[in-house]
Amino acid sequence: MPRQKIRTAVLISGRGSNMIALAKAAQNPDYPADILLVISNRPGAPGLEKARNSGLATATIDHTMFNTRCAFEEKLHLTLQGAGIELICCAGFMRILSPWFVRKWPDRILNIHPSLLPKYKGLVDTHKRALEAGDPEHGCTVHYVTDEVDGGAILAQSRIPVLPDDTAESLADRLIEKEHALYAAVLSDIAAQTGSGI
C-alpha cells in the first residue's frame, strides 16, 4: 500500500511565488507532500487567485479583523486542524507566529527566508542589507519555525554571488529561482522522512 502524502498547508501574505513552486512540485505523483490548503492573512493577496487558478483550496483569515494576535492565531490553528493539516509551509507570510502557536505545531512549521541565516533575520530589506554590508554572496535559507524569529534549525541553504552592479531588486530577482527549487526540495525531504500520521 503506497504511503500517504503529508497533508500540507501554505501560509502567504503576498504574491505567492514560493507557494506556486511548491504546488507545481507537488503535482508529481511521487512527491511526498500534498498541498491541500493555502491561507492568506491579507484578503487581497495576489497569491490567493494564483492558488485558486491552480485548483488549490484557499482561505482568508484577515488579521486586522481580530482584536488580538492570540485570537487570530486561534482561528488559524482551528482552520488548519479542521483541514487535517500535518505540516505548514510559510511562504512570504508576513506575520511573526507566537510561541503559543509554534508550540501547537512543534517541528511542523517550515519557513523560507531570503538571506543566509543567521544573517539578516526579520521581515525587511534582506537584499539591501546584504548589499550595504558588502557581502560577496547572498542566498536563502529554509528552516524550522521556533519561538525565536528566524532562529530555528537550518535545514538547507542556497547561495548566489553578489555582482558588482547588483541592486536589491536584481538580487531578489536572481534569488527567487533558487528559493523555489530549494523550498520544494526541502519540503520533499521533510515529508519523506516524516511519513503520514505526524
pLDDT for 198 = 46
Q: Is the pLDDT of residue 14 over 60?
A: yes
At residue 193's C-alpha, the angle toward residues 109 and 55, to 5°, is 60
145 φ/ψ angles, rounded to the nearest 5 degrees: -90, 130
Domain assignment present for residue 1? The answer is no
Domain assignment present for residue 78? The answer is yes
Q: Which of 92, 82, 81 has the alpha carbon at shortest distance from 50?
A: 92
CA distance 7 to 4: 9
CA distance 39 to 57: 9
pLDDT for 195 = 66
Contact 194, 6 (CB under 8 A): yes
- State pLDDT tens for residues 146-178: 999 899 999 999 999 999 999 999 999 999 999
Q: Grid coordinates representing 30?
A: 511521487
- State pLDDT tens for residues 62-89: 999 999 999 999 999 999 999 999 999 9
Domain count, the chain: 1
Q: Which of 47, 108, 50 has the alpha carbon at shortest distance from 77?
A: 108
Domain assignment present for residue 26? The answer is yes
Domain assignment present for residue 95? The answer is yes
pTM (2 d.p.): 0.94
CA distance 110 to 21: 15
Domain assignment present for residue 52? The answer is yes
Which residues are marked as active site? Answer: 113
Q: Whole domain around residue 77: which residue ranges?
A: 6-194
Q: What is the CATH number of the domain that holds 94?
A: 3.40.50.170
DSSP state of 64: G
Domain assignment present for residue 27? The answer is yes
